[in-house]
Structure 1
Amino acid sequence: MIEPAVEELTLEDVFRQARALASTGGRHILGFTGAPGAGKSTVAEQVVDALGPELAVLVPMDGFHLANDVLLALGRRDRKGANDTFDAAGYASLMQRIRSQESSELTGDDAIVYAPRFARDLEEPIGSSLPIRPQTPLIVTEGNYLLLDQGSWPAARACIDQVWFLSPLESVRHERLVKRHEAYGKSHEEAELWALGSDQRNAELIESTAVRADRVLRLV
């Protein structure tokens, strides 16, 4: 398998290119993906903040985490974050609604699409949290499995105009993961075990999808 070429860009380069997408007329959907710790959430949030609410809104894939009680019932709670711990069909359905929102005959409040978000403090998804208005030109989404070629993930991908894969140095990615787990209450030893266990298994799967990305980026 041929490794995709990695483009080195500054964050300002990413802002400028995202703004160009938002300014070409009509609705565009831009996705950021990459392994755990790649910086997807941070970069996506920074892009939306840089462009402002008139141009962009963020719709994270994390809002489609299955609830913890569902994961317990399925026997998957100990590997939360794996691709089968998300409502992939629900995410694909939302992307389809966002894709066709401009052409809807609905008006006013009825035309707004509401997306879920993931509450980190609760470790649970919260439905109907993020309003998406039809006049917003750029929808930014981010998540681990935007390029996965199984289940309902391809249906979601078909709605996204471009997917940019973030590929930091492995040492940087691992350090970010450990710090993230520590920030949410794990000891350093527990954080290392999680980063090298469940996170690493997910990372290997996600990194194999980079060949299907429109671009592979490393921020410098």
Structure 2
Amino acid sequence: MSDADGGRRPPAFGLPGDWFDAGEGQALIRRIGALSGPRVLVAVAGAPGSGKSTLAEALVARLQDAVLVPMDGFHLDDRVLSARGLLPRKGAVETFDAEGFAALAARLAQPAAEVVFPLFDRSRELAIAGAGVVAPDHRIVVLEGNYLLLDAAPWRRVRYDLRVLLDVPEAELRRRLAARWQGLGKDTARIEAHLANDLANARRVIAGSSGADVTLVVQ
């Protein structure tokens, strides 16, 4: 990917712009492509702001017969969160339908199955049922989300063929997340509130995730 001046522009997840062209990037693509079976599940996990969504999208774009399934479609609705006093903690592990996600992952593991799943609409801050489809000929399913590798029920029940974890220092996460919320027009007070929540969730991911087959360290 090049910018207007013809230079290399790093992708949003902080790895060099040519990361997929050689070395670690090519090794990861080859490793995923070599996974055997009619349907394989690849988990891409990391803290908020780690770049997992961007990495997962880039992988799917470079793999044949691959599809992306984000975890965010299992956000509980704001009305449910309000009733439970959890709206300020939206994005925390307890604000997701974890059992629903685990059930989806079990369905996704079935060979040649068509599976319909929900997608999260960030412009409206809500999940839309039936908005995504995994087709029977999608052999590689890349799932991405904060808590995929969390060593707690029901997350640990989900079986993946490959587990990828992004490791980003908290200072860098803070910088990226502050820029994200600033870009969405939030004022200073709201940015600080969002950062407190995001970084609390990031610490949960960092401390509680386990079982990664590949850990990508991003500075």
Query: Which structure has the highest helix share of the two?
Result: 1
TM bin (shorter chain)? 0.7 to 0.9
1:45-95 Cα offsets, whole Å, 9 max, x none, are: 1111222xx421000000100011111111111100111100000000000
Once the two structures are TM-superposed, the CA of residue 16 in structure 1 deviates from its matched residue by: 4.9
One-letter amino acid of the counterpart of residue 206, structure 1: V
CA distances 1:118-143 after superposition (whole Å, capped 9, x unpaired): 10101111111111012212111111
Residues 41 and 162, structure 2, Cα contact 8 Å, conserved in 1: yes
Q: Does 1:88 align with 2:85?
A: no
Q: Between Structure 1 and Structure 2, how many residues are aligned?
A: 200
> Structure 1 33/184 Cα, relative in aligned 2: closer, same or farther at 3 Å?
same
Contact in 2 for aligned 1:112/1:132 (Cα 8 Å): yes
Could you list the runs of 4 or more consecutive aligned residues of structure 1 that deviate by over 4 angstroms after TM superposition? none
Q: Distance in 1 between matches of 2:178 and 2:187?
A: 9
Q: Find the aligned partners of 1:16 and 1:212 in 2 and give their Cα distance.
A: 19
Q: Whole-Å Cα distance in 1 between the matches of residues 58 and 209 of structure 2?
A: 22
CA distance in 1, matches of 2:192, 2:215: 27
Corresponding residue for residue 33 of structure 1: 45
- Give the Cα separation in 2 of the matches to 1:152 and 1:24: 25
Residue ranges of structure 1 left out of the alignment (5+ in a row): 1-7, 103-110
Name the structure 2 match of 1:46. 58
**1:78 maps to which residue?**
88
* 1:217 aligned onto 2:219: no
Whichever residue aligns with residue 18 of structure 1, its letter is I
**SS of aligned partner of 2:79:** helix
> Retained in 1: the 8 A contact 2:35–2:161?
no
In structure 2, runs of 5+ residues without a counterpart are 1-14
Q: Confirm whether residue 128 of structure 1 aligns to residue 130 of structure 2.
A: yes
Q: TM-score, normalised by structure 1?
A: 0.82
Separation (CA, whole Å) in 2 of partners of 1:46 and 1:198? 27
SS across alignment from 1:115 = strand
Q: Compare relative contact order (CA 8 Å, sep 6+) and give the higher one, 1 or 2.
A: 1
Give me the whole-angstrom Cα distance separating, in 1, the residues matched to 2:90 and 2:206.
18
Counterparts of 1:48 and 1:23, CA distance in 2: 15
- Choose from 13, 17, 30 the match for 2:28: 17
Paired-residue identity, %: 38
